[in-house]
Amino acid sequence: MLELHSSVRFARLHRASGAAAERPPLSGLGRALLFTHNLVYWFFLIPFFTSMSYATGFAVYSGVLFVRFLANTWMNVRDFSWEQYYRYPLRIP
């Protein structure tokens, strides 16, 4: 929920700035990090389709959520501009 709030906040700032609709491009590494960061979020499905124990899945997914929380907290504490937000690879698209 916190990530969605941040995403909407930066979209609103972008619209309010009156700037062109173009977002700053991500580098190749940034695009790969964005894709990986959001793909790993779906890790919670792994224990349902493999022989991984639910305890291991829970522990790993707790770590994934904690990393996403730290990445989002960093974004909000640093008070990114909308340009910085769109260049930041650890966000929701």
SS3 label, residue 19 = coil
Q: Per the domain annotation, does 30 fall within a domain?
A: yes
**Domain extent at residue 13:** 2-17+26-87
Threshold 0.75, pTM exceeds: no
What number of residues does the chain have?
93
Per the structure, the count of domains in the chain is 1
Q: What is the pLDDT of residues 38-53, one digit of tens each?
A: 888 888 888 888 888 8
Q: Per the domain annotation, does 44 fall within a domain?
A: yes
Q: Per the domain annotation, does 93 fall within a domain?
A: no
Q: What is the pLDDT of residues 57-73, one digit of tens each?
A: 889 889 988 998 898 88
Q: Per the domain annotation, does 71 fall within a domain?
A: yes
* 3-state helix vs strand vs coil in the chain, percent to 5: 70, 0, 30
Q: Per the domain annotation, does 50 fall within a domain?
A: yes
> So what's the pLDDT on residue 21?
64
Checking if the pLDDT of 5 tops 80, the result is: no
Q: Per the domain annotation, does 78 fall within a domain?
A: yes
Q: Per the domain annotation, does 92 fall within a domain?
A: no
> So what's the pLDDT on residue 27?
81
